[in-house]
Structure 1
Amino acid sequence: MVRRASSSLNPWWAIGVILLIVAAIFGGWALYKNVSDPFRTLTPLDVSAYLDNANSLRGNVYKVTGTVETQLAWAPLKGRLYSVAADDRNDVLPLLIPASFNSMNIQRGQRYFFKIQVGEKGILLVQDIRKV
């Protein structure tokens, strides 16, 4: 009687499949991390250059990712002034959020992506805002 060869799972195949699964998970995470930023095409604000001379950046559009610290002021027609801690540094920036965003519930400790424009006298005016 002829014996059949037993087919067992080669350990190299199992290791290869596990490595492919780990690579797919890591690749998906990296893709999500990069694609989740809605303002990824904008230049990040150079905070040190802004703090040194805000007028040199006037008129330019940047992105800032940060955590809301406190609401500094509010005017119904102008908007709200918030202090925001920038993620890439330990500096706090004043951001003026126009009245068109008054319907948003912005609370202390929340993280946001901000599309900002450096306005007259170095005021950081928010053009768009998205929650992280």
Structure 2
Amino acid sequence: MKKNYRSGKSALVPVFVVAGLAILVLVGLMAYRNLAGGVSQPLPVAQFADNPKAFSGNQYELEGRIDTQLGYETGVGRLLLTQDVATNDSVPLFVPYGFEDFSPNPGQIYRFGLRVDERGVLTVESFTKL
């Protein structure tokens, strides 16, 4: 009696098609999350404090409690001192000029979307009051 090898191979085709589609969906979801400003990694505060320039170009998220405004210059922006809610470590943030609807008060908690510039400065790109 002859075995039909073809029927065994054809049964594997749908498995590979489904696996391929699943991989495409996962890759698409990851790309969408990155393009849509999805959740970034939490800022590693202790490591960042040791060598801020090493994090240049990276994006992070920080839940920070407003401590005080360290400085402000019209047309440039403001420098804030925040406290990381998770660790209570102090974290200075630069808020570029143009965030007219951002009016923080000491004690308020925000979720910040941050980018580390080439000098190692944490620059606010987005914020949400919690």
Query: What TM-score comes out, normalization by structure 2 length?
Result: 0.68
Amino acid of the residue matched to residue 52 of structure 1? D
Choose from 101, 105, 108 the match for 1:103: 101
**Paired-residue identity, %:** 33
- What are the within-5 Å matches in structure 2 for residues 1-132 of structure 1? 41-132=39-130
Pairwise CA RMSD of aligned residues? 1.3
Q: CA deviation at 1:103?
A: 3.2
Instruction: Specify every segment of 5 or more residues in structure 1 that has no aligned partner in the other structure, as ranges.
Output: 1-38
SS at 2:103 equivalent: coil
Q: CA deviation at 1:121?
A: 1.8
For each residue in 1:17-54, what CA deviation from the matched residue of structure 2 results, as whole angstroms up to 9, or x when unmatched? xxxxxxxxxxxxxxxxxxxxxx7721000001101111
In the TM superposition, structure 1's runs of 4+ consecutive aligned residues that sit over 2 Å from their partners are: none
CA distance in 2, matches of 1:57, 1:102: 28
Q: CA deviation at 1:77?
A: 0.9
Number of aligned residue pairs: give it. 94
Q: CA deviation at 1:102?
A: 3.1
SS at 1:55 equivalent: helix
Amino acid of the residue matched to residue 119 of structure 1? D
Between 99-108 and 119-128, report the one with greater CA deviation: 99-108
Of structures 1 and 2, the larger Rg is shown by: 1
